[in-house]
Structure 1
């Protein structure tokens, strides 16, 4: 089975970035996805260039922080922050013209770092929202990279990176039995979503999901890869 173990939120904070680097250097994490509006993007780029074996993709953002482009006010509130939450509201879909401008700007900002773009996913899985299916497929084809599979993209194997996404390594589902659980799947390829981090005050102030990231980091650095697994 081909297994991609991806760490989300790269570049959001220094602690997250350092945790992901450690989980790659000393553990089983093979790739990460960077938030181009994060607080530690420059540092994350620097660390990625020092660790070229870590594949880096983009974590497209619509639900946290500020846009990287200007004049996308249909996506923001009066404070200039993204106005959307992690829960899709069918009565208030994002303006697709502004979203295409912003997500293109995020990808172009990534490319200007000089890092090769591995793949596309998104913060809170917003790329799986029904109204943006055509847009995410368009971006995948323009930039010629695969996309994280989510429920609404299962029927688009031409653009998705794996057969399924394993999102069970989160919260109460975080355990050292990850590979045992994956072995029960009847698929050829799977992406495992993870969130390792070194917890600091900055991270604590930003999210309620802080200390579980330390447990993820410890486990990801202690796992043995079975012979039937091909990490990629």
Structure 2
């Protein structure tokens, strides 16, 4: 089984970035996805260029912080932050043309880093929101990059990075029996979504998912990878 262990939120804060790098260098994290509107993007890019085996993708954002473009008024609230939150499914969908413009700007900002774009996913899985599927399909094909699997994308296996997304390594599911659980899955490829990181002041101010990130770092560094796993 091909297993991709991806760390979300790269560049969100310096502490998160350091935790991801540690979980890669000393553990089993194989890839990460960069938030282009994060608080520590330049530092994250510098660290990625020092760790050439770490694959870096783009963590598309529409539900946290400020947009790359500041003229898409349909996406933002009065303070300039995105108006969408993790509860976006209860909100009216945005103008698709504005979403495409913003995500294209995030893709282009990633390109300017000089890093190779490995894949695309999104903060709070908003790329998989059915109203936005057409946008992500268009961008994935144009930029020739695979996208994180979601049920809303199951009819487009040609653009999906893996056959399945494992989301259980989160909160109370952060345990050391990850590979035992994965072995039960009847798929050839799976992505494990993780959120390792060290808690710093910026993270406390911007996220509700805190000290379990440090537990993730610890476990991802301690886990032994079974022989049946093709860790890519």
Q: TM-score, structure 1 length as denominator? A: 0.98
2:24 paired with 1:24 = yes
2:174 paired with 1:178 = no
Shift of the 70–205 alpha-carbon distance from structure 1 to 2, 3 Å rule, reads closer
**Other-structure match for 1:78:** 78
**Other-structure match for 1:7:** 7
Q: How many residues align?
A: 232
CA drift of 1:20 comes to: 0.3
CA drift of 1:86 comes to: 1.2
**Other-structure match for 1:169:** 169
**Other-structure match for 1:119:** 119
Shift of the 91–24 alpha-carbon distance from structure 1 to 2, 3 Å rule, reads closer
**Other-structure match for 2:96:** 96
User: Structure 2 CA distance, aligned partners of 1:41 and 1:10?
Assistant: 8
User: Structure 1 CA distance, aligned partners of 2:84 and 2:167?
Assistant: 22
Matches within 5 A, 1:77-226: 77-89=77-89, 92-226=92-226
- SS at the partner of 1:148? coil
CA drift of 1:205 comes to: 2.1
Which is worse superposed, 219-228 or 87-96?
87-96
Residues 149-207 of structure 1: per-residue CA shift (max 9 Å, x gap): 01211121010000000000000000000000000000000000000001122212222
Matches within 5 A, 1:44-63: 44-63=44-63
Which is worse superposed, 152-161 or 34-43?
152-161
- Give structure 1 stretches of 5+ with no counterpart: none
User: Structure 1 CA distance, aligned partners of 2:203 and 2:133?
Assistant: 31
- Give structure 2 stretches of 5+ with no counterpart: none
Q: TM-score, structure 2 length as denominator? A: 0.98
Which is worse superposed, 6-15 or 202-211?
202-211
- SS at the partner of 1:57? strand
Asked if the contact 2:89/2:129 (under 8 Å) is kept, the reply is no
**Other-structure match for 2:69:** 69
Residues 129-160 of structure 1: per-residue CA shift (max 9 Å, x gap): 01111110111011101000012111210100
Which is worse superposed, 78-87 or 28-37?
78-87
